[in-house]
Amino acid sequence: MQRTWDWMREAEAELAAARTLYGGRHWSWCCFTCHQAAEKALKAICEHRRTPQTGHNLNLLLQAVADPVSVPESVRGACARLNRYYVPTRYPNAFDRGVPAEQFFEEDAAQALRDAEEVVNFARSAVGGP
């Protein structure tokens, strides 16, 4: 069964959730949710190309979706930045002390939103319309 649009719709829903988290000043959760939106957007491309992937590493997913030469530098940079948010945004033991909610700031979340939008837009153009 082809699930491209399920993955893409979920990516877009998570991007919307990230915007809500940003508005609520939940910086760490906004960053994590941006990672999730990008992950699902890349998995939508993989589904579209009939090469489904597992895992959460955005850099590896990006390698799976396209020839690196065809991926814009802005998308590669966005994935590299977002990839760092998978674990430390959620687990207190990612830092010597303090909780993730105290380690991420508005600037981090704003950049994460821009990055997630970049990846989701890239995926939209890669998979076309439903």
pLDDT tens string 3-53: 999 999 999 999 999 999 999 999 999 999 999 999 999 999 999 999 889
Domain total for the chain? Answer: 1
Tell me the CATH number at 112: 1.20.120.330
Q: Is 19 helix (H, G, I), strand (E, B) or coil?
A: helix
Residue 130 pLDDT > 70: no
User: 76 lies in a domain?
Assistant: yes
Which residue range is the domain that position 69 belongs to?
4-125
Instruction: Classify residue 46: in a domain, yes or no.
Output: yes
Phi, psi of 68 (to 5 degrees): -55, -30
- Answer yes or no: is 23 within a domain: yes
**Residue 130 lies inside a defined structural domain of this protein:** no
Q: Is residue 17 included in any domain, yes or no?
A: yes
Could you tell me which of 97, 79, 96, 91 has the C-alpha nearest to residue 43?
79
pLDDT (0 to 100) of residue 34: 98
